[in-house]
A and B are shown apart, each in its own frame.
Chain A
Amino acid sequence: MIGRIIWKKGAPFFLLLLLLIVWESVTVLLKVEEWLLPAPSAILTEGIESFHNLSGHLISTTELALTGFFIGSCIGLLIAAILHLFPSVKEAVYPLLILSQNIPIIVLAPLLVIWFGFGMLPKLIVISLVCFFPVAVASLDGFRQTPYELKHYFKMMGAGRNQLFWKLELPHSIPFIFSGLKISATYSVMGAVISEWLGAKSGIGVYMTLASSAFRTDRVFVSIFLIMGMSLLFFGIINLLEKYFVSWKRKEGEKDEAGN
């Protein structure tokens, strides 16, 4: 029983470990050049040695990602609320929202620099642009899927549009909003790194560009692993917040499982 739990919870970890072992063996056995593909052990050593150097980059990327994530999510929620409360606006704007996700960031980013310079603004625009969309779409679905019989009760009791939104539709969509936030949280780290390529004083993106142009492949891999770690961490934090704010839903789920 305990063995099964360990296996279930630890499966991704074991798989990762296996992958690293294969990777390590391949690089050693085939004597792959370090600048082509460094061994995981070499990457780890490099990571530890340059940790002091890296922490500054890590902090500025985290700050950038968090700020962009926050702004993007707020905008997403706001857009969803406006589109939901004014259905005629929704018809006109919704297609544009989808189009906004088709703008290639790689092309847009240099333009933003031309327009707004090298400061924070163009970077935050890039991150917000990728972060707002999942939140907006998920929240809209949440508002729309409010159960009919609950809405009916509110209307029969004479609830106004405001009460209907704040006391029914918004609380109902909180689990939906969290789904959107989880996607946005992972996107925000990628968004931050890409926006740092535009030009920044520090950040994982900067570190990565420098390492890449110096053929320090080990450092490129260090930054890749850092980005993955940050994404996972953000995701985990949102997950914890969700568990706290949507505790009623979790209990409901447990009941369903017990019933089956």
Chain B
Amino acid sequence: MKLEIKDVSYSFDGKQNILENIHFHVGDGEFVTILGPSGSGKSTLFHLIGGILKPNQGIISLDSKKINGLKGHISYMPQQPSLLPWRTVLENVLLGSELAGIRDKEMAKALLVKAGLEEYEKAYPHELSGGMKQRAAFIRSILSPQELMCLDEPFSALDELTRLQMQKWLMSVWEENRRSVLFVTHSIDEAVFLSDRIYVLSAKPATVIKEVVVPFPRPRREEQLLSDEFFNLKRELYAALKPTVTT
């Protein structure tokens, strides 16, 4: 088991819990999604896993090692691309691995080709479109050596069409490497299309209220988005999310 979250609670002010008794796990090479409404505490959960916040209660373990409050164990992709404006695209995608003390330029170039960014190797971030920036940010997190990748709503700022393209592209890259991924989103479609398993989070305080296994075979294809099974899953997830949205 890659990541295990056991009974984790957290509050900013010591009174009102933002996260309460969170319990879930991510297996080796598994793509797991946390689905929850905005403001429920998904980013806060990532900050706990990343070690910049410490849980008030519970254990976060990676490869059976407790990592409460320890930094540098995950590869992270934030909601905004967060590329350095003074670095070229190539230098930017190398940043994550550089912070961990390694640099593999050849690998970086190969991945940029796969992302259709080979012509932009020497370009600066402001010359890229929103989707291209996110692709560069994703490559940066693939190149980071930590085995678990944590992606925090990486596509929420993109328009609908670009988002679908990005999801397909992400699937194709991920299905080749099969890293363990913890993905956060508030979009039901995105969760079902990408994940092996989905945890649904309630709001205020956030806790896991449902676990769903996505049965579709891989590689995933767009046609699956139109199948009955897909709609049934969506309905199930919607029903689980609904009470948390209305209250």
Contacts and interface: CB of A to CB of B under 8 A. Distances in A.
Given A152-B78, A163-B99, A248 B86 contact: yes
Contact of A248 (B46, B71, B82, B124): B124
B41 interface: no
Contacts of A153: 76, 78, 82
Nearest to A159: B99
Contacts of A155: 50, 52, 71
B126 A156 contact: no
B229 interface: no
A81 B107 CA distance: 35
Contacts of B46: 156
A150 B82 contact: yes
Given A251-B126, A252-B124, A156 B86 contact: no
Interface stretch (A166-174, A181-189, A215-223, A234-242): A166-174
Nearest to A253: B126
Interface string A142-176: 00000001101111111100010001100110100
Contacts of A168: 84
A174 B100 CA distance: 24
A156 B76 contact: yes
Contact of B127 (A152, A156, A157, A251): A251
Given A174-B86, A251-B124, A156 B47 contact: yes
A99 B80 CA distance: 42
Given A251-B127, A252-B126, A158 B85 contact: no
Contacts of A163: 99
A154 to B, nearest CB: 7
Interface of A: 149-150, 152-159, 163, 167-168, 171-172, 174, 246, 248-249, 251-252, 255
Given A158-B73, A168-B84, 18 more contacts: A149-B78, A152-B82, A153-B76, A153-B82, A155-B52, A156-B47, A156-B74, A157-B72, A158-B51, A158-B100, A159-B99, A167-B99, A248-B86, A248-B124, A251-B127, A252-B85, A252-B124, A255-B126
26 contacts: A149-B80, A150-B84, A152-B78, A153-B82, A156-B46, A156-B50, A156-B76, A157-B71, A157-B75, A157-B96, A157-B99, A157-B144, A158-B50, A158-B71, A158-B73, A163-B99, A167-B95, A167-B98, A168-B84, A171-B84, A171-B86, A246-B86, A248-B124, A249-B85, A251-B124, A251-B126
